[in-house]
Every structure is written in structure tokens, then in C-alpha cells.
């Protein structure tokens, strides 16, 4: 007969054996984030690949133990369909769930929640790069240069490259919202600070599918440059109409023709897919590295997309890269807090964001914040559409936008 000690020892071994196969090797901690954006709806061309980029980066982080110690990130991604009230409801539900950082989307939704972000003191990483989101705000961390920096920077590019003695004649083609009007207002302030362009007309586009009358009117007024601040679809329609009418400039600033330029959400591979050859010569300002550059950053973006079976359209979209960057900023904040032996809380992540300085393979420059700086990537690339892809012309930082900000 076995002794009681032997029976107890055998039972102990059985328990150890069972636990070894039922418990994870390292349970780790789970950090909750929340993302609300338009996967469907009027701006889904941008929101859909953006969501895929963020989703893939968080999968990569969790599968590779990027945070160490078996720690993981749980970030539900919810489709608000570009509706502000839905965004607000999702945000409140995320708060109840105890999220540490909110990854948001549209200009309107962010403006509607701007005071809420400050009151509950939660770090926010938006997909909107509207300058107003960081004015008199502490908790919104803009990933890249704002739309205003894009527009003012493009205006500077015009003044530096315009041929002729006349002041460049410019029109704005904008979305009928704060998203579209904000960069126009800052460009007007830059003109007041001495920038040498004249804004001849501002066009707030509607849902009309034909721009014939508008384009002919701009040419008759002597407009040579059209700066776009909207999304890709209306720009694609305008460029196609301009090609049909024969008013697209064959070279930069060609007299009697129109040279088209645009900010972040107006360009990229998605625009070329929509407008084809009508895109040729389009000048675009953006703070993301493009896969068409075929550099190390581009290869890493494509490798991530391949790992998660994304199609070519998503893999090559700068909006896929934008989603990756937003997720990387949140991830780096958590990693920094852990490295500093701090508890991962909203308060400590806010502190870490203000010290952040890292290089992302999707960005045109380093991501840096400080106690007073709320824009991560200040560098912009100027791209031109040639032979079916966007190619980099130069990198730059807008000088006049600094004067505009100093005047606020």
C-alpha cells in the first residue's frame, strides 16, 4: 500500500502537469486602446486602409511580443461611418471600458469631442490633421504635419517655382467643411504675413459630377494654380474633367493652363487608381514615405501587408501607412512607460508622449513631441505624379506656417 505522502506527491505532479498545458507560458498584461473611424461611408476610401494599417501593426506587436513580458494591446476598431454622434457614443463606451489612448478619425468628430478629451485627460491620436485640433489643446497628438502646413507649404512651393514677373494667381478647391476651410484661412494669414500669391477664387465643391463651367471660369480669370484640400474622389473628377477640356498644364505653371496641387488626403496611389493619366503632373504634399519610393521603409510596409494577406491596393496606400503610424505612436508610448518602470496609465502615457522621439518606416521624418510640440512629423515630401506613380521631388518644412502660428 502506498503511503499518504506518496499519494500526495503523485497528485501534486498531476496538478503541475495539467497546469503546464492549460496556462500560457507568460500571461502578461493587456493594455486597452480604442479606435473609431469610417471603415464605410463617404470617406471610407481613406478610412478602410487606415483601419487595416492599425489592425496589422497591433497584430504584429502581439504576435512578436514587441512589448516584452507577454504584454499585449487590445484595440477594438469600430466603424462610425463618418458620423459625429456615433463617434461620440463609441468614445464614451471606450471610456467605460477603461481605454488608455483614443485613436480617432474625422475633423468634425474630433472638434466635437475636443473639450471632452481635455476634461477626461486622455491622449488622442487623430487621423485628421486639422490645425484647429491642437490649438488650445493639450491631449491631442497630431501624427504628422497638418493640412494647413500642406496648403501653406504648397503655396510656398508655387512662389519658389513660378516663372514670370506676375504674382501667382491661385484658386482653392476645398471640401465644404472645417476640414476644407481651415487650411484656406491659414494660407490667407500667410499672405498677410507677406507670402506672394493671390487667391483669385475659392471653390467649395458639391456633389456635382461635372466641373466644366468651373474650370473654364478659372482659366478665364487667369488662374494658373489650383490647391486642393478635400478627399480623393472630387479631385479625381476635377482632374478628369480638366484633361477632357485640355486645360491641364503640360509643365509646372504653364500659362493659360492649370497646375493642380493638393494636401494629404487628395493624393496617393488611390488618386491614380481613380483618375489614371489625368493625374500626371499633380503635385502633392504629404508626410508619409510611399511604397513607390522602393526604399527600406517601403519594403517594411509591404512586408507587413503581405504578412496579413492585404491586397496591393491596401498595401500601397499611404492611408495604410497612416494607420500603421497612429498605432506605432500608441505602442511606443506604452513601451517607453514600461522601460521607465512606470505603471502604464493615461497620465504616464501622456508624459511619455511628450518625450517621444523615434523613427517609423512609414514616415518622411522622425516622430518627435515635447511639452509644447504636438505635431509628430514636421517634414513634408513634395511628390509629383509621373508615369502612373508619385515620385518625390524634395523634402521641406513650411516657414510661413511658423509665422501664422506665432500670430495666434
pLDDT per position as a tens digit, 288-301: 999 999 999 999 99
pLDDT at 285 over 80: yes
Helix (H, G, I), strand (E, B) or coil at 310: coil
Do 221 and 211 meet the contact criterion of CB atoms below 8 Å apart? Answer: no
**Are 231 and 265 spatial neighbours (Cβ–Cβ below 8 Å)?**
yes
**Model confidence band, residue 17 (pLDDT cutoffs 50, 70, 90):** very low
* 106-128 tens-digit pLDDT: 999 999 999 999 999 999 999 99
Distance (Å, whole) CA 218 – CA 281: 18
List the domains of the chain with CATH numbers.
30-145+292-377 (3.40.50.2300), 148-286+382-407 (3.40.50.2300)
Is residue 214's pLDDT more than 70? Answer: yes
The continuous run of DSSP H or E covering 300 comes out as: helix 296-307
CA distance 181 to 78: 28
Asked if residues 263 and 210 have their Cβ atoms less than 8 Å apart, the reply is no
Model confidence at 209, pLDDT cuts 50, 70, 90, reads confident
Other C-beta atoms closer than 10 Å to the C-beta of 302 total 17
DSSP H or E segment with residue 347: helix 346-353
**Residue 323, pLDDT above cutoff 80:** yes
Do 316 and 304 meet the contact criterion of CB atoms below 8 Å apart?
no
Q: What is residue 332's three-state secondary structure?
A: helix
The pLDDT value given to residue 16: 47
Q: In this predicted structure, which of 17-26, 80-89, 210-219, 341-350 has the lowest mean pLDDT?
A: 17-26
Q: What pairing do the DSSP bridges indicate for beta strands 380-386 and 389-396?
A: antiparallel
**Is 14 a residue whose pLDDT tops 80?**
no
State if pTM tops 0.85. yes
- Residue 158 scores a pLDDT above 90: yes
CB count within 10 Å of CB 275 equals 22
Mean pLDDT of all residues in the chain? 93
Asked whether the predicted pLDDT for residue 267 surpasses 90, the reply is yes
Q: How far is residue 302 CA from its own chain's centroid?
A: 18
The interaxial angle of helices 296-307 and 318-339, nearest 10 deg, is 90
Given phi > 0 = left and psi -120 to 50 = alpha, else beta, which region is 121? left
CA-to-CA distance for 377 and 399, rounded, in angstroms? 15
Confidence label for 8 from pLDDT (cuts 50, 70 and 90): low
The average pLDDT across 12-33 equals 64
Res 225 pLDDT > 80: yes
Instruction: Tell me which DSSP letter residue 357 carries.
Output: E
Amino acid at each position: 500500500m502506498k503511503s499518504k505522502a506518496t499519494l500526495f506527491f503523485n497528485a501534486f505532479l498531476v496538478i503541475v502537469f495539467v497546469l503546464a498545458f492549460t496556462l500560457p507560458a507568460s500571461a502578461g498584461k493587456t493594455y486597452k486602446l480604442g479606435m473609431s473611424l469610417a471603415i464605410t461611408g463617404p470617406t471610407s476610401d481613406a478610412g478602410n486602409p487606415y483601419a487595416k494599417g492599425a489592425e496589422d501593426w497591433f497584430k504584429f506587436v502581439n504576435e512578436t511580443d514587441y512589448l516584452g513580458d507577454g504584454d499585449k494591446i487590445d484595440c477594438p476598431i469600430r466603424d462610425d461611418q463618418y458620423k459625429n454622434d456615433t463617434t461620440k457614443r463609441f468614445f464614451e463606451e471606450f471610456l467605460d471600458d477603461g481605454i488608455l489612448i483614443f485613436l480617432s478619425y474625422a475633423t468634425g468628430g474630433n472638434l466635437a469631442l475636443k473639450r471632452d478629451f481635455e476634461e477626461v485627460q486622455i491622449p488622442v491620436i487623430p487621423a485628421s490633421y486639422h490645425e484647429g485640433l491642437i490649438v488650445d489643446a493639450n491631449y491631442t497628438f497630431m501624427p504628422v504635419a497638418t493640412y494647413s502646413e500642406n496648403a501653406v507649404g504648397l503655396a510656398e512651393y508655387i512662389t519658389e517655382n513660378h516663372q514670370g514677373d506676375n504674382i501667382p494667381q491661385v484658386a482653392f478647391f476645398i471640401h465644404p467643411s472645417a476640414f476644407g476651410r481651415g487650411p484656406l484661412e491659414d494660407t490667407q494669414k500667410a499672405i498677410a504675413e507677406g507670402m506672394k500669391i493671390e487667391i483669385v477664387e475659392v471653390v467649395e465643391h458639391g456633389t456635382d459630377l461635372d466641373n466644366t463651367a468651373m474650370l473654364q471660369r478659372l482659366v478665364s480669370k487667369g488662374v494658373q494654380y489650383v490647391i486642393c484640400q478635400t478627399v480623393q474622389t472630387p479631385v479625381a473628377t476635377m482632374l478628369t474633367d480638366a484633361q477632357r477640356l485640355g486645360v491641364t498644364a503640360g509643365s509646372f505653371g504653364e500659362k493659360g493652363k492649370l497646375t493642380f496641387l493638393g494636401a494629404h488626403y487628395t493624393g496617393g496611389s488611390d488618386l491614380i487608381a481613380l483618375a489614371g493619366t489625368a493625374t500626371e503632373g499633380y503635385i502633392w504634399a504629404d508626410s508619409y514615405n510611399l511604397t513607390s519610393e522602393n526604399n527600406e521603409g517601403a519594403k517594411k510596409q509591404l512586408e507587413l501587408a503581405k504578412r496579413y494577406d492585404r491586397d496591393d491596393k491596401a498595401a500601397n496606400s499611404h492611408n495604410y501607412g497612416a494607420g500603421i503610424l497612429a498605432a506605432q505612436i500608441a505602442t511606443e508610448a506604452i513601451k517607453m512607460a514600461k522601460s521607465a518602470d512606470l505603471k502604464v496609465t493615461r497620465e504616464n502615457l501622456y508624459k511619455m508622449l511628450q518625450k517621444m522621439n523615434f523613427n517609423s518606416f512609414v514616415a518622411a521624418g522622425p516622430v518627435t513631441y515635447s511639452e509644447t510640440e504636438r505635431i509628430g512629423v514636421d517634414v513634408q515630401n513634395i511628390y509629383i505624379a509621373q508615369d502612373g506613380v508619385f515620385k518625390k521631388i524634395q523634402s521641406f518644412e513650411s516657414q510661413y506656417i511658423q509665422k501664422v502660428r506665432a500670430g495666434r
